[in-house]
Amino acid sequence: MPKCSRCGSDNPMGYNFCSHCGNKIEEIKITRIYRFVIMGSGGVGKSAISIRYVNRVFEAKYDPTIEDRYQKIIEYEGCSCVLEILDTAGQETFHAMRELYIKTGEGYALIYSITSKQSLIDLEPLLLGITERNLIKDVPIVLVGNKCDLENKRTVGPDAARELAKKYNCPFMESSAKLNINIEEIFHNLIRLTWLYNPSFKTKSKHQKKDKSSSCILF
């Protein structure tokens, strides 16, 4: 972790200001902003995945989420990118909000727990809603079986999830926020799929990298 030149505090990679004293660390030219949505039933570890990726820590305490937003600056394929990550509620009472998230997201991480069969079943209506409501033919989606560190409590085998992923033409992986397994891969897969399905995003990023005079977002 880099240290702040003013107060000496540790700060997560990708931050351009000190989270303790507010000192500006560096100015970064951003070529692309990606808006990703994390969805799934309550208690599957959506917030734990977000916090592990952004802050590099594991948050064990479960606190039901209504809506949390996270931001992280990364470099991907030589391009500086901002990931805006929306961590959504898992409760059915927020169904109307999820409809809005489906319409506004650019990529989706659909999370279930390998310890809960119902959490995998709950994802199919979300997958159907995402594919039906998006205007583009292919939608960046990653299906994730979280809590793979709890193998002794597993009730969902990988084959069932692979079958669902194949049906909706999306990659599948298992993860552990606790052990930091495949956490970065979730978001890198979403960026990869965004570039694959929308070539203009990739072309624009490479053009901006070469053309220093092109407009960029400064952080």
Find the range with the poorest average confidence among 10-14, 100-104, 125-129: 10-14
pLDDT score of 216: 30
The per-residue pLDDT for 215 is 30
Residue 150 has pLDDT above 60, yes or no: yes
Percent of the chain with pLDDT over 70: 69
Amino acid at 134: N
Residues whose CB falls within 8 Å of the CB of residue 159, separated by 6 or more in sequence, listed in order: none
Total structural domains in the chain?
Answer: 1
Residue 207 belongs to a domain: no
Q: What is the mean pLDDT of residues 42-47?
A: 92
In a domain, 153, yes or no: yes
Domain annotation covers residue 102 = yes
Average pLDDT score over residue span 69-98: 79
Residue 61 lies in a domain: yes
Task: Return d(Cα 104, Cα 91) in angstroms, integer.
Answer: 19
Question: Residue 209 domain-assigned?
Answer: no
Mean pLDDT of the chain: 80
Place of tokens 């292919």: 138
Please tell me the predicted confidence (pLDDT) of residue 33: 87
CA distance 156 to 178: 19
Strand partners of residue 75: 80
Mean pLDDT in residue range 117-146:
88
Is a pLDDT exceeding 60 seen at residue 71?
Answer: yes
Question: What is the secondary structure of 135-201 as a DSSP string?
Answer: SSSS--EEEEEE-TT-GGG--S-HHHHHHHHHHTT--EEE-BTTTTBSHHHHHHHHHHHHHHH-HHH
Q: Residue 36 is part of which domain span?
A: 29-201
CATH classification of the domain holding 157: 3.40.50.300
Count of C-beta atoms within a 10 Å radius of residue 15: 19
